[in-house]
Structure 1
């Protein structure tokens, strides 16, 4: 019999008053927390939806606390007053800004009125409706569009800065006119925007405003470099005056990288016109 009671006691478990007290306390804490949160949310909703603090022509914000003026009204202290739309303007139905904008072709003045945009002769109203620009062939001078005086042999540049025109190819700007460029014989017009407007043909070099033929001596070739005499000696020859003289290599020497001078082999050094062995 005692054996059966022990088995039954093991299956049911030992009753502990302390543990039961803890379980009951935990249930009470959880229930109290949930009830408090419910009351807090309920109170917030009541406060948020309370219409007594919202002025006329206003509504509670769709999110957050507080209120905002209805469309067509704006806040002034603690009330909402109707927006006054001036003449030549329209209501924007936005809660920010002035609440109105000027019509196309009118300009806002001192946040209170809209005045017409005065477009001068030779100009046109811009796409914004509040600014004007000059037509092609006209230049903005103050509040007017003055016709550009285009000299012969010139064209409009469409540039907003600098001169409104440039000279045609073959002409250069001198004062308010385009004067033909004098190109010497054996030369051609270049595309340089500065300096000399012409360049000499290959085989010629500039000298005193003319193009002089380059004289290439024997054992030399034409050189296009902008400096020098216009030619260079072939490899194995050195420049002497206006001639290319064959280089005579001393023993233990070789031509250098340029091919127009010589240097000593390794372990030799130059002494006058010879290569001397280093001791």
Structure 2
């Protein structure tokens, strides 16, 4: 009698599992219905239009999805609907800025104009911002109006440098010239001269040398076949089986030769 009872237990368990799976599938389908409706599927509601591709529908401009319907976006005065599903659904018109749930006019001070973006202002040429107003730029002597709206609004003429609220002359030593640089040294020495304590002293050029414009070093370098020793250029004593390197001021052994005691010997 116990054998038939044992056989029915697995069958009852299978039926129970089948009912659980069926209920789960039904619950998922039930929960999915509102989501599909919110995604713009099903019957096209009022204030909506069918999509041109892919099926479904989208709310008209000024409306947004709410369940299976399209509800009007509350657009304040001086604003426009954006058609975006996120955010407030509206944005302020050009010349206005958001203030809570409203749009207020951007205050543009005297001697200023609204930027092309429409959300900020800029002072007219000849004026600079000072808090919420535009004040005249006081132009010192030997200066001109610049396009830098964040600074003083002016720059010094060539040959002058700003100092406090004035443009003072740049003192250029003899044999020097203006660099016209906005940063760094205002002057540099002419070719053949080097800077020393605010002066431009001549470069002492030894025999068999030529001027070198590198910012470091003595200002000259030796010709090919000569090497610098102290302040002179002496001929390079080139041993047998050697050649000048790329610089022309040093030498190295030929291939297959190795340096040993100042000579280039054949490797063994």
Using structure 2 for the length normalisation, give the TM-score.
0.60
Give the corresponding residue for 2:109.
120
2:209/2:222 contact within 8 Å kept: yes
Query: By how many angstroms is 1:188 displaced?
Result: 0.9
- Answer yes or no: is the 8 Å Cα contact 2:242–2:264 preserved in 1: no
CA offsets 1:94-119 (integer angstroms, 9 cap, x no match): 9x99899878766564334x655443
* Cα distance, 1:132 vs structure 2: 3.5
- The alpha carbon displacement at 1:233 in A equals 1.9
Contact 1:105–1:125 under 8 Å retained in 2 = yes
CA contact (8 A) 1:236 1:247 kept: yes
Indicate yes or no: 2:259 matched with 1:269: yes
Contact 1:155 1:165 in 2 (8 A): yes
Structure 1 gap segments, 5+ residues each: 1-47, 50-57
| SS across alignment from 1:140 | strand
Contact 2:62 2:73 in 1 (8 A): yes
Q: Residue deviations 1:222-274, cap 9 Å, x none?
A: 22222211222222222223222223344x24343133334445445331x44
The answer for the alignment partner of 2:215 in structure 1 is: 226
Asked if structure 2 preserves the Cα contact closer than 8 Å seen for 1:269 and 1:278, the reply is: no
Change in CA separation of 1:232 and 1:109 when aligned onto 2, cut-off 3 Å: closer
CA-CA distance at 1:185 after TM superposition: 0.8
Aligned counterpart for 2:182 among listed residues 193, 201, 209:
193
Match of 2:242 in 1: 254
The answer to whether residue 112 in structure 2 is matched with residue 142 in structure 1 is no
In 1: Cα distance, 2:128 partner to 2:203 partner: 49
Q: Is the 8 A contact 2:128 2:152 kept in 1?
A: no
**Conserved 8 A contact 1:236-1:255:** no
The number of equivalent residue pairs is 220
How has the CA–CA distance of structure 1 residues 277 and 169 changed in structure 2, closer, same or farther, with 3 Å as cutoff?
same
Distance 1:106 1:277 in 2: 86
Question: After superposition, where does 1:176-215 map in structure 2 within 5 Å?
Answer: 176-215=165-204
Over alpha carbons, which structure has the higher Rg? 1
Using the TM superposition, give the Cα deviation of residue 165 of structure 1 relative to its aligned residue in structure 2, in angstroms.
2.2
Q: Which residue is 1:172 aligned to? A: 161
Give me the CA root mean square deviation: 4.5
Contact 1:90 1:101 in 2 (8 A): yes
Secondary structure of the 1:178 match is: strand
How far apart, in 2, do the equivalents of 1:237 and 1:60 lie? 90
Deviation at 1:126, TM superposition (A): 4.7
SS of the aligned residue for 1:139 comes to strand
Q: Hey, what does 2:230 align to over in structure 1?
A: 241
